[in-house]
Amino acid sequence: MSDDDMLSWDESVFRDEHVLELDYLPEAFLHRDEQMKTLKYALRPAVRGSRPLNVMARGPPGTGKTTAVQKLFDELTGVTDVEVVRVNCQVDSTRYAVFSRLFEGLFEYEPPTSGISFKKLFGQITDHLVEEDEVLIVALDDVNYLFYEDEASDTLYSLLRAHEAHSGAKIGVIVVSSDLELDVIEELDGRVQSVFRPEEVYFSAYGEHEIVDILEERVKRAFRDGAVGTHVLDRVAEHTADSGGDLRVGIDLLRRAGLNAEMRGSAEVSSDDVDEAYEKAKYVHLSRHLRGLSESEAALVRVLAEHDGERAGDVYEVFDERTDLGYTRYSEIINKLDQLGLIDAEYTDVEGRGRSRALSLSYDAEAILERLRE
């Protein structure tokens, strides 16, 4: 490598590393014109002061669902009489937590952490909407987490029936799910199914050519000229496609590959930098799931990583020693981890003991333990 290809102490391969952060909202939103058109159609009544159509946005992880919602909400923020609130249900996974986030979005301060009932919280939100003659659009991002906690039906019922509880309250709902095995409508109570008739918007996995287009736009903004060649970009796109077309893998991979190049002191990212970075970037989905776990849920994942493949009863003995939680809560956590795809919990026949669940991790145990330590 010549001196011209080496970075000096105060140089970087990056022009703007922030562009490669997973929460960055890109100016150009490519290959999602049809989805945006349907979303705008559903939300247009809100601009006229009417309740918008409800929407269900589904698709694999990393296919632009959250970005689409944020793009539209940014456009609507400047429209008077329309309030928009996006709730991350991975973090706020109960009805009360969702409405606390709505309260914060409307009043710009958090409600009291104790001493206020749901009924009062709900009433203050609907009173505000009626008094200000505003329309509220709520995006329940990662709504699947509400289902995992058995909170989805109550939450949606309260939102969809708000106009009945308080005449004049106008609320529209966008539910966003990345769990393709979850039938959102089928899993809701009948009382919710009768009023929830959403427009459906599907976000398919990006193809390799689409991935190249999108990542090329990020490269132009994130890296200095010449830092990422076409062959390197193609290699990133290939790995991203191998990961189910999850764009977050590709974005994280670009950032890690750039950091690897800097570690070598190189002004150019190489294919080897990409391949080395992929070993960590491919777990971006795992890291996201683990960050959303409670302390007791993370404790069980840690126990499972240490006792992979053992039966539920045997794992519980270790879990009980560490957490002192009962078997009912243990079983609930097992079900949630299974729904998240972190583990496989399969019932098998055990001689003399009836049916028992064999628990196995869906990811490499060392990869899980490493990320739990982060």
Q: Is residue 369 part of a domain?
A: yes
Report d(CA 51, CA 151) in Å as an integer.
24
171, two tokens: 């609320």
pTM over 0.85: yes
CA distances from 341 to 237, 323, 338, 345, 346 (A): 24, 23, 5, 10, 13
Looking at residue 38, which CATH number applies to its domain? 3.40.50.300
pLDDT value at 353 more than 70: no
pLDDT of residue 110: 92
Same domain, 113 and 130: yes
| 3-state class (DSSP) for residue 187 | helix
pLDDT of residue 359: 83
Task: Single out the residue in 282, 310, 333 at which a domain terminates.
Answer: 282
Same domain, 9 and 46: no
Report d(CA 79, CA 47) in Å as an integer.
7
The pLDDT tens digits of the residues spanning 168-226 come to: 999 999 999 999 999 999 999 999 999 999 999 999 999 999 999 999 999 999 999 99
Distance of CA 89 to the CA centre of its chain: 8
57: nearest Cα among 39, 30, 78, 71: 39
Q: Is residue 125 part of a domain?
A: yes
Task: Single out the residue in 135, 169, 202 at which a domain terminates.
Answer: 202
Looking at residue 362, which CATH number applies to its domain? 1.10.10.10
301: nearest Cα among 270, 261, 260, 333: 333
DSSP 118-151: HHHHHHHHHHHHHHHT-EEEEEEETTHHHHHTT-
Domain count, the chain: 3
Burial track 241-254 (b if 16+ CB lie within 10 A, e otherwise): bebebbbbbbbbbb
Q: Is residue 342 part of a domain?
A: yes
Q: Is the dihedral of CA 85, 91, 93, 97 positive or negative?
A: negative
Same domain, 135 and 171: yes
- Which range of residues forms the domain containing residue 137? 33-202
Q: Is residue 28 part of a domain?
A: no
58 in Cβ contact with 100 (< 8 Å): no
Same domain, 355 and 316: yes
Same domain, 237 and 296: no
Same domain, 221 and 82: no
Q: Is residue 243 part of a domain?
A: yes
Same domain, 77 and 147: yes
Same domain, 56 and 174: yes
Same domain, 145 and 196: yes
Same domain, 37 and 18: no
pLDDT value at 99 more than 70: yes
Report d(CA 365, CA 251) in Å as an integer.
24
Helical spans, DSSP H, in the chain: 33-47, 65-77, 95-107, 118-132, 144-148, 152-160, 162-165, 184-187, 190-193, 208-222, 230-242, 247-264, 271-281, 284-291, 295-306, 312-323, 327-340, 365-373
The pLDDT tens digits of the residues spanning 285-336 come to: 889 889 889 999 999 999 999 887 777 788 889 999 999 999 999 999 999 9
CB neighbourhood size of 171 (10 A): 23
Same domain, 228 and 298: no
Min mean pLDDT across 20-24, 205-209, 331-335, 348-352 is at 348-352
pLDDT of residue 57: 98
Looking at residue 255, which CATH number applies to its domain? 1.10.8.60
Q: Is residue 53 part of a domain?
A: yes
